[in-house]
Structure 1
Amino acid sequence: MTITQPDLSVFTTLESEVRSYCRGWPTVFDRAQGSYLYDEDGHTFLDFFAGAGSLNYGHNNPVLKRALLDYLERDGITHGLDMATTAKRAFLETFRDVVLRPRDLDYKVMFPGPTGTNSVEAALKLARKAKGRESIVSFTNAFHGMSLGSLAVTGNAFKRAGAGIPLVHGTPMPFDDYLQGQTPDFIWFERLLEDAGSGLNKPAATIVETVQGEGGVNVASPEWLRGLADLCARHDMLLIVDDIQMGCGRTGAFFSFEDAGIVPDIVTVSKSISGYGLPMALTLFKPELDLWEPGEHNGTFRGHNPAFVTAAAALDTYWTDGQMEKQTLSRGDQVEAGLRAIAAEHAGSGAAVRGRGLVWGLTFDDVTRATAVCRRAFELGLLLETSGPQSEVVKLLPALTMTPEELDEGLRVLTRAVRETA
């Protein structure tokens, strides 16, 4: 594909230098449908990015779009703070009946604000309020958001440095296999908890991702997650699962922790919960933790009713019969097979594969290779991002609704991009 250099002058002169994704994809996108985006010059791009996991059902999903347009055309409430509305009621009832009750999950639902970091901030505040302690334990290579509380439990040094102030009250511990099997799980963590001389302030909670997306597609085993849940229970710490990117079916089940057989005390949800890419976030917690005073945590845009409409439609459409989970796991097997073929072809460069469901990573001994692969893939019409502390992982995050043919198309392009950057 030959891409004529677009006119980016208004973006480069007026928009802040903080912009990032657009630097790797230097074109001006105009429209999108399903798993394809189209720039203003008519070039087509297959999307293996899905809005960083916010578009699990693809771009402009027709069922969700129809529900949204119908709602807007009848002048449904758009901005509602935390007022009771018909759209919020419909979402809550659907979420209860389709997601919570079938999984025997007794969670209260909080709307903390429109983004993932709002959900994490609420979770951290609630854990501290419930336990009367300040410290939160997170894990190496974690990513939980860019506001100060969330950033304090995020591992990436570059992102942490942007805070400009000390990030306190968070303590990192090794994620699953961080020490490559050299020590038993949690031996260091538990020793610190038990030793009065360790200097570790007793934590209110731990916060964990079952798969670290931004951290490099690092997958926690079910056994490790069960061990963490047991450790938290024995030491009176709350367990927070950050399911912002891996929830809403990304790993197969609606919640990524289901396969491990654990029930977190608090769960953060955002990204694809609206189904349509509209801002929306939830903080879920056990009823006994509902200790908030009215208005103690709020936000102007916590009641984004159009997102409630598309969220309810997504749940009704995709999560009532169990087929979405089966399809995601099947598509995941397809992606894994394609990536393992690439890794076998490039075994001499240390190519390796890791992932789960429909989130996968491809790595090489040369940590700069992933960036080159993603750049070449863009030139060939495929959108991919890198992840990991050194951007060393080619990350695949296709829509759950992508067809087998589209997945094969993307894997063929990726295969070519890897060959041409060898």
Structure 2
Amino acid sequence: MTINIKCKFKFTLMFFKFTLEKCLYAVILSSIEIDKPIKIHGCNLKFTGVEMQKSELSNIHISGEQVLITPNQLKEKLPLSEKGRQFIQSTRQDISNIIKKTDHRLLVVCGPCSIHDVDAALEYAKRLKALQEVVGDQLYLVMRVYFEKPRTTVGWKGLINDPHLDGTFDIEHGLHVARRLLVQLAEMEIPLATEALDPISPQYLGDTFSWSAIGARTTESQTHREMASGLSMPVGFKNGTDGSLSTAVNAMQAASSSHRFMGINRDGQVALLTTQGNPDGHVILRGGKQTNYDSVSVNECEQELAGQGLDAALMIDCSHANSRKDYRRQPLVAEDAIHQIREGNRSIIGLMIESHIHEGNQPSDIPLNEMKYGVSITDACINWDSTEALLKHAHQELVPFLQNRLKD
């Protein structure tokens, strides 16, 4: 049900209550002007066309403002069960042990480039869970559930930012859809991975993830290094888009230290946050101007980490520049990493694979009824059959080499 209210007035710190179908809305509006409809959708109060009061110095390029649900409110609406919380704690510890090399298994972060279809994500998750039952003694499968996408210029920024894929940027709805899916997956006991892009999002969703990445475009960012130092799960740092290793190594070192910075707390208030530092950082080799998954590149990264007094724990990204932007090359990259482990490598602790139900990709701006089910709308992915074959092959090839790495 939607009610449109046309109004035009200015007001400061006035308190209004709207009651609709037993839902109570309280809104504090400060120095704003409304000249377009206020839309009330179900239990969500949404403002369309809220214009900021501008001064000569402030808000010059800001055209609107919408107050969002707080992290605590979202978690209360969509909570994790005690069983779900315990599962996430356990999987975070498992991944930490793999990084520290006290668990012999190979970490595999595997799944769609991005999530845009909840039904397809759930189907993929069920398949991945079934595969984990087969390969779990050697491989530790974690599902990619990426809701935020960094863009080189412009484009669809992910399910949270634009859940309807129509440019309406219904972020509050996106937060609800994202958390609802994450809670479902966690209750299915599937470890989840994401990229920490927006510094605010972890307060809403971070309790559901077992592993996180800082992407190639943001690894050099002080904001993201500080954020990573406070994240509650292990964090992988990708090398820079140009292939530079120092970007990731410096980020890993910075994130292991304590920081103080401004952020928001669970009640949505601006707060000074103090972090302890994240002890579970590791480097993700994703290529750059050239690929960097080969043994020479891996050794170079090991040496750079050793030079900084850091343990060499490396994940090989089989996609992106390492696949030369050809998703079909991902199994070849994975095969090289498997070969290195069989030859005695001890630093490669994980693989990253972009995989979906069906292969390839499709545009994000086509009509929803024309979109193919289970096909990525961002980077192209290998299909499920290829994924299953690849991981079963890795499982077979790595017995008993992974276990022997702990004994050496």
Query: Could you tell me the TM-score, scaled by structure 1's length?
Result: 0.28
Q: Which has the larger radius of gyration?
A: 2
Structure with more helix by fraction: 1
When normalised by structure 2's length, the TM-score is 0.29
Structure with the higher strand share, 1 or 2: 2
